[in-house]
């Protein structure tokens, strides 16, 4: 599809790559794989209550770690607050300000007003939950002291260009991740079915469940829910992937490209961040021809993480049937994340006996996440190297016992390897039916 975009040369600087940090571990991997900034949730007031999130002490450590690496950290405070939420909110906002958070992601006007009153030096970013779809509303919020607006995901590329020309503040947009079935994430389904309010951080993602149709007088007879030219299937939307369309987005001058996924795995965070880091750097530094040459390899990598079929979302207009999964609510998982390498900064891991801590910088130790065994082929994925594979030959516990199968989640193991693992290496295995 050919889209004509007017180019503002003053807004062509390389965008920030913003990655999800569901917990401290994922934060470190996001930064190692190339994120310019991360966003996370604190102990309350965010829309991912069931992500790992951070205590205030952990948040302080995370901010020091992120700033020492020369990057930024944003914290979600984007619930739609009820009256009782304000009892502790003022003190929380003051703490975020004192910790040096680079921005609070907010959506409730009451929270915005309270933040400006109690934590005036805390930068405020307007969440996608406020469904900012036009320049008038965006400019309104900029006048209220908002520094950055996260665009609604329902905007087309022409609309993004139009608001960009009229909005003087920073703009942020989602470029990858799960698409919510409700407008800008404002969903009541979780609350209705489970009593957990998605708009207060407790979403159970019922739009990802499998559904069928039951006629009330025929209990037990489940009919599949399908779609034809007359109707739209409302659940099981495809995942957003704007990787192939970055050359179209480049002239828009968006300040920040955001990846969704604070509840996703280390493998997901690492892989998506590395691909988009390489893609952005290539496009901005080497040009579109080199970008197109490398695109097939990046798309192949994106297929190795757990995902639904990809689509461009609303970028070219209202999505149709091609952007929904009609046959299944399942994810595509062609590769299994089995372990990650323990770099030197993992020496204080609680499972590590003092007798072996000095060995960790050698690059042969891993933390297991899914079972694997001798004789299997494992692929190593890391921040700076091209992927490489090895056959599992020796697996050893911290006590030195050799085992045939790594079967205990989060167990610390030493592997026989043809070469040391680089820091933050991901170990993954192709599923048997994909080999």
Kindly report, residue by residue over 150-191, the tens digit of the pLDDT: 999 889 999 999 999 999 999 999 999 987 655 555 565 666
Q: Does 343 lie in the same domain as 286?
A: no
Helices (H), 100-188: 109-118, 135-143, 157-166
Count of structural domains, the chain: 2
425 or 191: which leads in pLDDT: 425
Q: Is the pLDDT of residue 351 over 80?
A: no
In a domain, 252, yes or no: yes
- CATH assignment at residue 185: 3.20.20.80
Structure tokens, 393: 């030959």
In a domain, 22, yes or no: yes
Single out the residue in 323, 357, 389 at which a domain terminates.
323
Query: What is the rounded distance in angstroms from the CA atom of residue 248 to the CA atom of residue 160?
Result: 11
322 or 319: which leads in pLDDT: 319
In a domain, 177, yes or no: yes
Categorize the per-residue pLDDT at 85 as very low, low, confident or very high, splitting at 50, 70 and 90: confident
In a domain, 201, yes or no: no
Q: Is the pLDDT of residue 104 over 70?
A: yes
Categorize the per-residue pLDDT at 354 as very low, low, confident or very high, splitting at 50, 70 and 90: low
Q: Which of 257, 264, 258 is nearest to 305 (CA)?
A: 264
* Nearby residues of 249 by Cβ (< 8 Å), 6 or more positions away: 157, 160, 173, 175, 242, 257
Range of 390's domain? 335-430
Query: What is the rounded distance in angstroms from the CA atom of residue 307 to the CA atom of residue 330?
Result: 9
Q: Does 250 lie in the same domain as 371?
A: no
In a domain, 135, yes or no: yes
Q: Does 341 lie in the same domain as 308?
A: no
Q: Does 408 lie in the same domain as 299?
A: no
**C-alpha dihedral, 252 to 297 to 319 to 48, nearest 10°:** -80
Q: Does 382 lie in the same domain as 277?
A: no
Q: Per residue in 259-318, pLDDT tens? A: 998 888 999 999 999 999 999 999 999 999 999 999 999 999 999 998 878 889 889 987
Q: Does 281 lie in the same domain as 145?
A: yes
In a domain, 200, yes or no: no
- CATH assignment at residue 342: 2.40.30.10
Q: Do residues 38 and 74 lie in contact, with contact meaning Cβ atoms separated by under 8 Å?
A: yes
Query: What is the rounded distance in angstroms from the CA atom of residue 16 to the CA atom of residue 161?
Result: 18
DSSP helix/strand/coil, 251: helix
Q: Does 339 lie in the same domain as 302?
A: no
Which range among 164-168, 356-360, 430-434 shows the weakest confidence by mean pLDDT?
356-360
Using CB atoms within 10 Å of the CB of residue 188, give its burial: 0 to 12 exposed, 13 to 18 middle, 19+ buried.
Answer: exposed
Measure CA 158 to chain center. Answer: 25
Structure tokens, 231: 């109707």
In a domain, 400, yes or no: yes
Looking at residues 353-364, what average pLDDT do you find?
Answer: 68
Q: Does 309 lie in the same domain as 163?
A: yes
Q: Do residues 169 and 144 lie in contact, with contact meaning Cβ atoms separated by under 8 Å?
A: no
In a domain, 296, yes or no: yes
Q: Does 283 lie in the same domain as 181?
A: yes
User: Residues of the chain with pLDDT > 70: what percent?
Assistant: 76
Q: Does 150 lie in the same domain as 127?
A: yes
The number of beta carbons lying within 10 Å of the beta carbon of residue 155 is 20
Q: Is the pLDDT of residue 11 over 80?
A: no
Using CB atoms within 10 Å of the CB of residue 409, give its burial: 0 to 12 exposed, 13 to 18 middle, 19+ buried.
Answer: exposed
Q: Does 289 lie in the same domain as 366?
A: no
What are the backbone angles phi and psi of residue 267, rounded to the nearest 5°? -60, -45
pTM of the model: 0.84
In whole numbers, what is the pLDDT of the chain averaged over residues? 84
Single out the residue in 289, 323, 357 at which a domain terminates.
323
Single out the residue in 323, 347, 370 at which a domain terminates.
323
Q: What is the pLDDT at residue 229? A: 43
Give the number of residues written for the chain: 435
Q: Does 368 lie in the same domain as 313?
A: no
């Amino acid at each position: 599809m050919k889209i004509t975009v007017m180019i503002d040369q003053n807004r062509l600087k390389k965008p920030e790559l913003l990655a999800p940090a569901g917990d401290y571990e994922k934060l470190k991997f996001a930064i190692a794989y190339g994120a310019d900034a991360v966003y996370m949730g604190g102990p309350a007031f965010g829309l991912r209550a069931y992500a790992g999130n951070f205590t205030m002490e952990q948040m302080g450590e995370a901010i020091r770690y992120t700033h020492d690496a020369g990057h930024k950290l944003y914290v979600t405070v984007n619930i739609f607050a009820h009256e009782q939420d304000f009892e502790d909110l003022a003190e929380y906002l003051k703490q975020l300000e004192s910790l040096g958070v680079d921005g609070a992601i907010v959506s409730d006007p009451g929270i915005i007003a309270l933040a400006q009153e109690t934590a005036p030096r805390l930068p405020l970013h307007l969440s996608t939950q406020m469904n900012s779809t036009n320049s008038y509303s965006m400019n309104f919020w900029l006048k209220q002291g908002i520094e950055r607006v996260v665009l609604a995901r329902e905007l087309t590329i022409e609309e993004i260009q139009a608001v960009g020309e009229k909005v003087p503040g920073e703009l942020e947009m989602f470029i990858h991740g799960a698409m919510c079935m409700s407008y800008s994430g404002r969903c009541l389904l979780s609350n209705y079915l489970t009593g957990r309010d998605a708009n207060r951080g407790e979403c159970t993602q019922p739009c990802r469940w499998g559904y069928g149709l039951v006629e009330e007088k025929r209990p037990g007879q489940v009919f599949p829910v399908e779609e034809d030219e007359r109707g739209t299937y409302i659940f099981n939307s495809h995942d957003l992937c704007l990787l192939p369309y970055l050359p179209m987005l480049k002239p828009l001058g968006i300040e920040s490209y955001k990846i969704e996924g604070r509840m996703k795995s280390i493998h997901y965070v690492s892989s998506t961040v590395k691909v988009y880091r390489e893609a952005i750097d290539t496009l901005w530094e080497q040009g579109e021809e080199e970008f197109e040459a490398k695109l097939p390899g990046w798309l192949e990598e994106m297929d190795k993480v757990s995902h639904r079929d990809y689509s461009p979302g609303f970028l070219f207009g209202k999505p149709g049937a091609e952007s929904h999964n009609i046959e299944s609510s399942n994810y595509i998982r062609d590769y299994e994340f089995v372990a990650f390498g323990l770099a030197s900064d993992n020496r204080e891991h609680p499972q590590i006996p003092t007798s072996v801590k000095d060995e960790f910088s050698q690059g042969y130790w891993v933390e297991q996440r899914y079972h694997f065994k001798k004789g299997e082929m494992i692929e190593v994925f890391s921040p700076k190297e091209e992927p490489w594979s090895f056959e599992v030959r020796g697996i050893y516990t911290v006590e030195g016992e050799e085992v045939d199968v790594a079967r205990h989640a989060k167990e610390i193991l030493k592997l026989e390897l043809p070469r040391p693992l680089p820091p933050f290496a991901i170990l993954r295995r192709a599923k048997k039916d994909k080999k």
